A and B are shown apart, each in its own frame.
Chain A
Amino acid sequence: MNETLKNDLNKTPLHALHVERGAKMVPFAGWEMPLQFEGIIAEHLHARSQAVLFDVSHMGQAVLYGDNPAESLETLVPGEIQKLANDHQRYTVLTNAEGGILDDLMVTRRGDRLFMVVNAACREADFEYIRTRLEGQCTLEPQPDRALLALQGPTAVNALARLAPAARYLMFMHSQPLSIGNIPSVVSRSGYTGEDGFEISVEATDAEALARLLLSEPEVRPGGLGARDTLRLEAGFCLYGNDIDETTTPVEAGLAWTIGKRRRTEGGFPGAEIIQRQLAEGVQRRRVGIILDGRIPARAHAAVEDQDGAVVGEVTSGAYGPSVDSPVALAYVKTEYGEPKTPVNVVVRDQRLPGRVTALPFVEHKYVH
């Protein structure tokens, strides 16, 4: 890579630590991020059996406050935000006038403020959009001086509870300020791997000390974006820009569960009429999982065909799934091909690879409740 371009990349507060731990660094959404440390498969399997620490500081953190930030934010998202209880967290999407998705995000209520985490590639656009749309109602304050760490895996709780005992009692999708070995942090029991785990927001200046502390626990190894991607894919979660974007609606994407009951009736978010109609009448295409029979992974944009060779859909994410031990893919297919076990072929390098539509997730979620 050209040195000038490389120098233009943002670095997270953990950059030096990643390099010290031997990470292979790659550009991602304007950031220089670790792709892998010991290897994607090893890190993936470690997250499913023990605990892996991921740096997700490239994601955008911001706080929204004003007279009624929940009511204001509901004009931009279909999620139920007004009834979000204190210290609770919710996954939702910013929709556009066509019902498409501008970004997916996490929203946490803390007192009279809402904390948001948005995707790295969308952060500037999201913040500008929210500011403009909510002008005069709310103030959006980005928090570029905070880092975000994700500790994911079945033994993450043991590692974290040794340093912050209260972490053990934190419930899924709840958030709480905790001191981790004297480092002030805000911890939520959440993540994007399908495993139990935590996301930890911390001052940038404390991030490296916190990461070293967590990595010194016997269960914990560092992980990169590669394993984070295969873990989320097996968990059936969407990668913004691949599986969801401005042209896919939450209903098509299988994210109708994020739309609050009251919101379905009341509307009041961008694209509400289209989304309400889709909820009532159904959609032409839907996001599904596909497991391929052989060993060749399908990648984004591979065509999905029926048994007669007619194109019925397109892959949006695909990789070898280390826990499934097969190639897995997310795809949009015509609704009539969306039933689990429907046989399909995926076209890779002019070969028709047999596979079948599969209920998501590919790997069972293991949250604690």
Chain B
Amino acid sequence: MTTVKYTSEHEWIRVEDGVGTVGITEYAQEQLGDVVFVELPEVGKVVEKGGEAAVVDSVKAASEVYAPVSGEVSEVNAALVEDPAKVNADPLGEGWFFRIKLSDPGELDDLMDSVAYQELVESLA
């Protein structure tokens, strides 16, 4: 079964069979504006929940992307290196950043579901 969760830093994670796909939300890409470069983690890198996992450069500024959960990076979206604008065009789909093997699936319980995240975004408007 598939679970989608969100962080207060505007990352999403979609978990299937113990592997999570991570990206940034529609709200985050809108706030960043045009993305011109994405720095992805090395495959095999072990990240802590809340630790810096990637960097996204917009025209204006660089921003960190944090790991929503702890685990080992198992795959990265190399297509973003060639075409970082995918993050703006399709943040929840083709604009994914990396996949992570969860070391503690229990950490997902600390994250927001889509209803809670939607409320957060509305409170920021």
Contacts and interface: CB of A to CB of B under 8 A. Distances in A.
A349 B36 contact: no
B61 A320 contact: no
Residues of A in contact with B, size category: 10 to 19
B116 interface: no
B95 to A, nearest CB: 15
A296 B33 contact: no
A319 B39 CA distance: 16
Contacts of B33: 24, 35-36, 39-40, 226
A319 B62 contact: no
Given A39-B34, A41-B34, A349 B59 contact: no
Nearest to B84: A295
Nearest to A44: B59
A297 B57 contact: yes
B61 A299 contact: yes
Nearest to A36: B33
A322 B34 CA distance: 10
Interface residues of B, number: 15
Contacts of A39: 33-34, 88
| Interface class of chain A by DSSP | mixed
Interface string B76-87: 000001001000
B117 interface: no
A181 B88 CA distance: 39
B37 A296 contact: yes
A230 B34 CA distance: 12
A320 B88 CA distance: 16
A272 to B, nearest CB: 38
**Among A35, A229, A320, residue most surrounded by chain B Cβ atoms (within 10 Å):** A320
A299 B61 CA distance: 7
B60 A226 contact: yes
B55 interface: yes
A40 B37 contact: no
Contact of A295 (B34, B36, B59, B62): B36
Contacts of B88: 39
Contacts of A296: 37, 39, 57
A297 B36 contact: yes
Interface in A318-337: 319-320, 322, 327
Contact of B55 (A226, A229, A349): A349
A35 B58 CA distance: 13
Interface in A4-29: 24
**Among B33, B81, B84, residue most surrounded by chain A Cβ atoms (within 10 Å):** B33
Contacts of B61: 299
A295 B62 CA distance: 13
A39 to B, nearest CB: 5
B34 A319 contact: no
A319 B33 CA distance: 13
21 contacts: A35-B60, A39-B33, A39-B34, A40-B33, A40-B60, A41-B59, A226-B33, A226-B59, A230-B59, A295-B36, A295-B37, A295-B81, A297-B37, A299-B61, A319-B59, A320-B34, A320-B37, A320-B57, A320-B59, A327-B36, A349-B55
The 3 A-B pairs of least Cβ separation, nearest first, read A320-B36, A41-B34, A40-B59
